[in-house]
Amino acid sequence: MAPPGRRAMVHRRTTIRDMPLFLEDFAVGQKYGSGKMKVDAAAIKAFAATFDPQPFHLDEDAARASFFGGLAASGWHTAALTMRILVEGELRPAGGIIGTWAEELKWPRAVRPGDELEVEAEILEVRPSRKGPAHGYVKCRTTTLNQNREPVQVLVMSLLVQTRREPGDQESK
Encoded one letter per residue, x for contact with a second copy by CB under 8 A and - for no contact, window 110-149 reads: ----------------------------------------
Q: Which amino acid is at 25?
A: D
- Least spacing, CB of residue 31 vs a second copy, in Å: 22
Q: List 145's β-bridge partners, or say none.
A: 118, 151
Stretch near a second copy under the rule CB under 8 A, chosen from 16-24, 27-35, 46-54, 142-150: 46-54
**Minimum distance from residue 148 beta carbon to a second copy (Å):** 21
| 16 in contact with a second copy (CB under 8 A) | no
Among 30, 54, 129, 163, interactor with a second copy by CB under 8 A: 54
Q: Are the C-beta atoms of residues 82 and 155 closer than 8 Å to each other?
A: yes
Q: Which of residues 61-80 bind a second copy (CB under 8 A)?
A: 66-67, 74-77, 79-80
Burial 107-117 (b: 16+ CB within 10 A, else e): beebbbbebeb
**Rounded CA gap, 126 and 108, in Å?**
27
| # residues contacting a second copy (CB under 8 A) | 35
**β-bridge partners, 137:** 127, 160
The conformation of residue 2, written as its DSSP 8-state character, comes to -
CB 23 within 8 A of CB 163: yes
What x/- string results for residues 95 through 114 when contact with a second copy is judged by CB under 8 A?
Answer: xxxxxxxxxxxxx-------
CA 162 – CA 20 distance, rounded (Å): 10
Applying CB under 8 A, among 12, 17, 51, 125 the residue interacting with a second copy is: 51
Which spans of this chain sit near a second copy (rule: CB under 8 A)? Answer: 47, 50-56, 66-67, 74-77, 79-81, 83-84, 87, 95-107, 157, 160
